[in-house]
């Protein structure tokens, strides 16, 4: 149980900046909103006085939908702004874009941006609560929170659980936020992938490294399989998707060979047949769709808690 009533921070910039109590408070609050989402009327008036801007400077489908749904279920007024980063960087600066939107009396900003630190930059320069919906290769805190929530829901508790994160760790904000979040909640984290996709100094984060997917699966209770982000790679980090799928993809045979039943997660969108076969993605091992459902509740909890703090 969290020992605090409100978050320690006016922004959600990253898991790194949250205390364990903050995370517990978010997870407890998520329980309440998950219950709301299962009512016949899935809407509460908590944020009806607030206007939230969703600023997406990088493509997103599910995160954007999830935030928008969470905002609407809390009765907030919502505006959406989407732009490719290239068109913005050629013209108006981020501060100007955001200040223009804030001039329309926006209270909270949810932002996805390709630059690490972009959410920090915004928090330092504008007067609104900032929620980081992914800043480049830095953090994606709500994804980590919904992953933690989903594991907790499935397994009861995170203390002592073994979680392996598989795939492109080097370019992954999901990996980084997950590592911070899982560790703060008492889990042990291993990363697995081709050596070119593992940051050289990753062990300074307190994780261990494995390059053999079978050994990693045998070790873990939960495997979180990351999307291979070909769009973030400036040079070739591995020869082909075929070879990646052969040596790092998870298939049913591998899971059948284990003497235990592990949980399979994926932040989506899945490259079926690359990170994971369809057979596994759609199997009883998989909690991929629970993650999506929990995403809305977690985001409602975050928005609600930041708004509550704002009101004081």
Partner 1 sequence: MNILLQQPTIIAPNTVYHLKQYDILIQNGIITAIDSSLHNTDAKIVKAHNYYLSIGWLDVGTQVGEPGLEHREDLESVSKAAMAGGFTAIASFPNTRPAIHSRTEVNYLKHFSADRLIDIFPIGAVSKNCKGEEMAELYDMHDAGAVAFSDGKHSVQHILLLTKALQYVKAFDGLIINYPNQSNLASDGQMHEGAISTQLGLPGIPSIAEEMAIQRDLTLLEYTNAKLHFHNISTATSVEIIRAAKAKGLNVSASVAIMNLVLTDETLLDFDTNYKVLPPLRELSDVEALKNGLKEGVIDFITTHHTPLEVEAKAVEFPYASFGAIGLETAYALSNMHLGTEISQEQLVQWWAYHPRKRLGLAIPEISVGSLANLTLFDSNATWVYEEDSIQSKSKNSPFIGQTFRGKVVAVFNKGKWMSFL
Q: Which residues form the interface with partner 1 (CB under 8 A)?
A: 16, 89, 93-95, 113, 115-118, 120-121, 125, 135-139, 173, 176, 199-202, 204-205, 234
> What is the spatial distance between Cα 32 and Cα 35, in angstroms, rounded to a whole number?
5
Strand order from edge to edge, sheet including 162-166? 208-210, 188-192, 162-166, 222-225, 263-265
Nearest distance in Å: CB 32, partner 1: 32
Nearer to partner 1, 17 or 273 (CB): 17
Length of the chain equals 312
Nearer to partner 1, 236 or 312 (CB): 236
Q: Could you tell me how far CA 107 lies from the centroid of its own chain?
A: 23
Nearest distance in Å: CB 258, partner 1: 30
Nearer to partner 1, 3 or 86 (CB): 86
Ramachandran area for residue 110 (φ above 0: left; ψ -120 to 50: alpha; else beta) = beta
Residue 14 burial class via C-beta count within 10 angstroms: exposed 0-12, middle 13-18, buried 19 and up = buried
> What is the spatial distance between Cα 310 and Cα 195, in angstroms, rounded to a whole number?
44
Nearer to partner 1, 77 or 92 (CB): 92
Nearest distance in Å: CB 67, partner 1: 21
Nearest distance in Å: CB 16, partner 1: 7
> What is the spatial distance between Cα 304 and Cα 298, in angstroms, rounded to a whole number?
10
Nearest distance in Å: CB 207, partner 1: 10
Nearer to partner 1, 16 or 62 (CB): 16
Nearest distance in Å: CB 45, partner 1: 36
* 228 token code pair: 């291979």
Nearer to partner 1, 116 or 268 (CB): 116
Nearer to partner 1, 139 or 221 (CB): 139
Nearest distance in Å: CB 137, partner 1: 4
Nearest distance in Å: CB 205, partner 1: 6
Helix ranges, 76-209 (H): 85-90, 94-102, 118-125, 141-155, 173-184
Transcribe 113-133 into DSSP letters. Answer: ESSTTHHHHHHHHSSSEEEEE
Nearer to partner 1, 104 or 201 (CB): 201
The continuous run of DSSP H or E covering 31 comes out as helix 20-37
Residue 12 sits at the vertex; the CA angle it makes with 11 and 14, to the nearest 5 degrees, is: 135
Distances 237 to 93, 193, 213 between C-alpha atoms, Å: 32, 11, 17
Nearer to partner 1, 71 or 210 (CB): 210
Q: Specify which residues 262 forms β-bridges with.
A: none
Nearest distance in Å: CB 148, partner 1: 19
Helix ranges, 212-281 (H): 213-219, 241-248, 252-257, 278-281
């Amino acid at each position: 149980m969290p020992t605090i009533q409100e978050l320690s921070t006016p922004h959600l910039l990253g898991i790194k900046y949250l205390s364990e109590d903050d995370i517990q408070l978010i997870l407890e609050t998520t329980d309440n909103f998950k219950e709301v989402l299962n009512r016949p009327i899935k809407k509460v008036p908590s944020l009806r006085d607030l206007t939230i801007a969703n600023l997406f400077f990088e493509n997103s489908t599910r995160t954007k939908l999830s935030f928008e749904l969470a905002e609407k279920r809390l009765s907030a007024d919502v505006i959406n702004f989407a732009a490719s980063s290239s068109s913005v960087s050629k013209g108006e600066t981020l501060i100007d874009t955001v200040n223009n939107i804030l001039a329309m009396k926006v209270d909270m900003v949810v932002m996805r941006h390709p630059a690490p630190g972009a959410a920090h930059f915004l928090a330092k320069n504008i007067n609104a609560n900032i929620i980081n919906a992914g800043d480049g290769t830095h953090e994606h805190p709500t994804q980590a929170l919904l992953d933690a929530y989903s594991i907790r829901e499935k397994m009861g508790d995170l203390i002592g659980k073994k979680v392996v994160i598989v795939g492109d760790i080097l370019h992954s904000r999901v990996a980084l936020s997950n590592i911070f979040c899982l560790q703060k909640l008492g889990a042990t984290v291993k990363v697995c992938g081709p050596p070119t996709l593992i940051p050289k100094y990753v062990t300074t984060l307190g994780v261990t490294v494995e390059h053999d997917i079978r050994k990693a699966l045998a070790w873990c209770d939960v495997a979180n399989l990351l999307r291979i982000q070909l769009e973030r790679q400036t040079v070739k980090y591995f020869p082909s998707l075929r070879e990646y799928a052969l040596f790092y993809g998870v298939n049913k045979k591998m899971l059948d060979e284990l003497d235990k039943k592990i949980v399979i997660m994926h932040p989506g969108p899945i490259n079926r047949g690359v990170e994971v076969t369809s057979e596994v993605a759609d199997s009883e091992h998989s909690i991929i769709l629970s993650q999506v459902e929990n995403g809305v509740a977690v985001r409602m909890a975050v928005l609600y808690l930041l708004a509550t703090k704002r009101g004081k």
